[in-house]
Amino acid sequence: MTHFPQLPNEMISEFWGYFQEPRDVENFAIVSKDIYAIGRPFVEEHNKLKREYSIFETGPGTRASAPAFLLKDVLLRPRFALYVTHLSIGRFRTNGRTQMEMVMIIYHTQKTLFIEAIKIASFVPQNDIRRWIKKVRAGGEDPILALLSLLLPELATITLTSIADISNKFPETIQRIARAEDRTFLTHLTRVNLFIEFPIDDYFLDWLWLKIFTSLPLVQPIHVKDLIVTQDHDDLVNEGQRLMSGSSCITEVTFVKSGVGAKTLFQLLQSIKGLKEFTYVEPIQEFKKFEPFWMRAALLAHAKQSLESLRITSSQTEEFGLLGSFRGFPNLRKLETNVHFLSPRAPFDELADLLPASIEEIYLHTGDHRCCDSVSPLIETFKKAKSQLLPNLRVLKLTSEPEMGTEQGGKDLIKTLEKTCRNVGIELTVISG
């Protein structure tokens, strides 16, 4: 009998239950050969389209073509749109041509196709159609991305990196989709990655992107890198209130090299219900208002019942202040941070008092404590707390100075500490460097 790589074993087993040997088995073998012969070209085409379109990516390091190429393919062959699940857009060049030149070349050959698509597209206001067409004629990428957001029904992930043509058609379209009562677009979008290195000095636009995507009901994780939000922008509060939907399903937020501070975080978290994971890594060097205590306060105000995992770290050792107590987070299971955000110096006798009984994993960066001797009392603190204050603690990870893991005395100390921790049910890992 011909073997079907795509057919589940459970289905094949079920078929056999209805067979009467030997005639049924022989007949099925003949039929299966015919099915395989007829279906093979379709399976091969399916696999080819999946390879080419499931992740459509443009950028300096990719060989993919402009988003206009994807729009052309989708308009000419609508079923191609069913294969696109990840749209990753960034600056690109193709054969020495800029993306604007590429769009104009494609538009020249597919002029009627693009114009008709704009005329009938949902969420394109009738009084705005001429402006959309004019912008595409000029090589604008913005309306093309907006059209794609309306034509890719299986899109699950959007990644935006260094968008070159910044305008308002794409974000406006996303915003209209988010506000629509009858959701028929972007119904599978669950993940957004914003690596924002915009070529213009417009902090408000950075905030606008973030707010619009957090307002989409199904989006769960949103990862942001290189986001700059000025702390004194007068329009941020008003715009934040205007865009808040209250129906956000976001469970995970990540900021890397960000200028987002406590004030902005308060505004953002007001529209997010049920946040489970929050990550804030390395504030930008120019950011002088990094306030760990008030960031914890923002989380406490809007996510204390739902937050399960928290990571706030920085390689900068300036006095940014302390995070404060986490006893108010009853479901917090994982915490990663710098020791100097919890306690300015050894000994660490009261450090365990800052954590909730629910905590299971702790990852502390101790590089700011220059003496290896500070690691031992830190570990002893958690060993003692295991029996009463932190009964669920099972994983403890610490960084240390390189010398602790390279010198023989340091290695022996680490082995001893690991053994004593295992005796009380804690898996200890000390990472050197």
Q: Are 87 and 159 in contact (CB under 8 A)?
A: yes
Which residues are CB-neighbours of 183 under 8 A, at least 6 positions away?
Answer: 177, 217
pLDDT exceeds 90 at position 355: yes
Q: What is the pLDDT of residue 347?
A: 64
Question: How much is the average pLDDT of 301-310?
Answer: 91
Mean pLDDT along residues 389-399 = 93
Predicted confidence at residue 237, as pLDDT, reads 44
Choose between 389 and 414: higher pLDDT.
389
Contact residues for 2 (Cβ-Cβ < 8 A; gap 6+)? 29, 32, 33, 36
The closest alpha carbon to 378, from 433, 331, 415, 428, belongs to: 428
Rounded distance, CA 181 to CA 18, Å? Answer: 48
d(CA 65, CA 67): 7
Q: Which residues pair with 365 in a beta bridge?
A: 338
- 31 pLDDT tier (thresholds 50, 70, 90): low
pTM for this entry:
0.72
CA dist 84 and 155 (Å) reads 6
Q: What is the pLDDT of residue 39?
A: 66
Over 70: is that where the pLDDT of 61 sits?
no
Q: Please state the rounded mean pLDDT for residues 70-85.
A: 89
Q: pLDDT of 239-297, one tens digit each?
A: 444 444 445 678 888 888 877 777 778 877 877 778 899 998 877 666 666 788 888 99
> d(Cα 368, Cα 231) in Å, to the nearest integer?
28
The pLDDT of residue 97 is: 57
Residue 407 confidence (pLDDT): 58
Mean pLDDT for the stretch of residues 350-367: 90
Cβ proximity of 84 and 154 under 8 Å: yes
Give the Cα separation of 224 and 236 in Å (integer).
Answer: 18
240 neighbors 214 (Cβ within 8 angstroms): no
Average pLDDT, the chain: 76
Q: What is the pLDDT of residue 212?
A: 75
Q: How many angstroms separate the CA atoms of 412 and 189, rounded?
A: 51
Rounded Cα–Cα distance for residues 261 and 255 (Å):
11
What is the number of alpha carbons within 13 Å of residue 393 lying toward its C-beta?
A: 27
Say which amino acid occupies 144: I
Confidence of residue 363 (pLDDT cuts 50, 70, 90): very high
Tell me the mean pLDDT in the region 386-402.
Answer: 87
* Position with higher pLDDT, 346 vs 352: 352
Q: How far apart are CA 339 and CA 266, in angstroms?
A: 24
Question: Is-contact 384 393, C-beta < 8 A?
Answer: no
Instruction: Return the pLDDT at 2.
Output: 45
pLDDT tens sequence across 99-125 = 566 666 666 677 788 888 888 887 888
Give the separation between CA 193 and CA 208, rounded to whole angstroms.
Answer: 14
Token match 């940014």: residue? Answer: 320
